[in-house]
Amino acid sequence: MISRFSRPALRIANVRQWPQQARCFAHPVNLNMIDSEFNAPASEKALYKNEFVQATPAEHQEMMATATKPPVVHDTMELMPAHSGDPHQTYGVADWRHVHYDIAREPTFPRKPDLSKGELASGAQVVRTDVWHDPSEPAITSIAKFSPENFRPVGWAENAPMPTSTCPEGTLDFHENRLPTGHADRRPWIYFLAAGSGFVASSLVRVIACKLVHTMWPAKDVFAAGVVEVDLRQMRMGQNFVCKWRGKPVFIRRRTPEMIEDARKDDSIVASFREPATDAERCIKPEWLICEGICTHLGCIPVPDQGNYGGYFCPCHGSHYDYAGRIRLGPAPKNLPLIPTEFLDENTVKLG
């Protein structure tokens, strides 16, 4: 058997050179993850003093109030000198760093801490040992005592800094000029601040609401395009005039008496139409038919004075409309759509 002391010699003799490990500042030397007689677990290494006081937070506060503390000083030069870094470390490296803990394995069943010596019980030392067990009280009460806020390092109550001011004597910080929180003279300022904040908040809400409404509001050209006035004096009898309203073609037909009679004679069979509507329901004035010039099938523009019924014919798929714009034959599902109209006088009509 080769002892562990002869292993370095074998490594040196080997052709392959192993990189030499050096302890950097506040960094572990090795990642010891195996059990051995010379590699103690991290919880057993004496990097820090394992001396703590276990008590409730209220008891710690009482200790802070009753402990004998160093004399009060009023100048930073009179402060008691302290060692740099953690006062609980046992050797002078790893100041102000957290990586100085050695990365080593922990045993599955760690050693039970001795609370009588002030040893800290936390983590695996609590859950994998019976250090928490107290037969005189419920288990949940015993376990609650090992919460982290119940532990303070030994000497904390005596040495914890408790400054009453960060300004040395003679420095003007206007501390005496400040009113207490509940003082009556502070209320006007609080009222003013609340009112000012409310005014600013309401103004922001108003601005946002106005901007939102104005953003969604249609532009003036859209309003202008939504209302169109048409002069009817230029149209001849039987003519189908085409104008533009809201970007869509509109048919305005001045019907002859024959067209009106031909459209009204079919009112008796209107119940059999695909979209039943009488001639009077589609024409406010019998002489004028005003409807959209878009086929209700797939949006083509019908041709006037064509088809089996003389009104309109869609050449795309063969829909036939009569002189009232009602669908009579073909795939179109509905009549030509009517639009809002208003006759301003005998010769002017407003669309929209």
Using alpha carbons, select from 342, 118, 161, 9 the residue that is nearest to residue 352: 342
Rounded-to-integer distance, Cα 306 and Cα 53, Å: 105
Token representation of residue 165: 């001011």
Rounded-to-integer distance, Cα 240 and Cα 146, Å: 96
Rounded-to-integer distance, Cα 301 and Cα 252, Å: 14
Rounded-to-integer distance, Cα 232 and Cα 237, Å: 11
User: Taking a C-beta distance cutoff of 8 angstroms, is the pair 112, 129 a contact?
Assistant: yes
User: Taking a C-beta distance cutoff of 8 angstroms, is the pair 296, 284 a contact?
Assistant: no
User: Taking a C-beta distance cutoff of 8 angstroms, is the pair 237, 256 a contact?
Assistant: yes
Is 317 one of the annotated active-site residues of the chain?
yes
Give residue 315's Cα distance to chain centre: 54
Phi/psi for 36 (5° steps) reads -160, 165
Using alpha carbons, select from 294, 300, 285, 283 the residue that is nearest to residue 335: 294
Among candidate residues 60, 214, 317, 320, the one labeled active-site is: 317
Rounded-to-integer distance, Cα 282 and Cα 339, Å: 10
Rounded-to-integer distance, Cα 104 and Cα 37, Å: 13
Q: Which residues are catalytic?
A: 317
